[in-house]
Amino acid sequence: MELMGNAQGCGTVLADRQNPNELWSAEEVAVNENRVKFSKNELEIGTEVTKLSNPIIEAFESGGKVIVLLDPDAHIEKFGQFRNLIAYDLNGTQLWTAELPTTTSGDTYYRVKSRNPLTADSFSGSTCQVDERSGKITQKTFHK
């Protein structure tokens, strides 16, 4: 979103860079940004509350979905991978769990690097661009 003043000076307007013809008032954006909240392992979307299996470290709305990153340390004592990047619809129904870049035990995402495009960093040393429609990796870069 880009902040723009209107010609008459009658308020603030935000323009979506992906769709510059779609303008939102600052009040509308504030309402939309406050629709998604979380605390520990509870995800709140509007009035719907969904209890998840692990604590949440980030949750945000994007493209009509809610993207959630679960705490990677919540799975540290368990064997195997932890697929902790998950998408929900606006009713709290799980849509997908993002694939991981490796099959290595212990691999998980530790941060969302970018929201648009959705990009996350994994413990295995990869930065992955994830398709928001499917949770599939569309681009992967390995870093030493």
| Domain spans, the chain | 1-34, 35-142
Give dist(CA 59, CA 57) in Å, integer: 7
Greater model confidence, 32 or 79: 79
Query: Class of 35-142 per CATH?
Result: mainly beta
Q: What average pLDDT does this structure show over 127-132? A: 98
Confidence of residue 34 (pLDDT cuts 50, 70, 90): low
Q: What is the dihedral of CA 81, 84, 88, 94, to 10 degrees?
A: 30
Considering only residues 138 and 4, tell me which one the structure prediction assigns the higher pLDDT: 138
Q: What is the mean pLDDT of the chain?
A: 81
Beta strands in the chain (DSSP E): 2-5, 12-15, 23-25, 36-39, 42-45, 48-51, 56-62, 65-70, 85-88, 94-97, 109-115, 118-122, 126-130, 137-142
CA pair distance 100, 84, nearest whole angstrom: 9
Which of the pair, 26 or 144, is modelled with greater confidence? 144
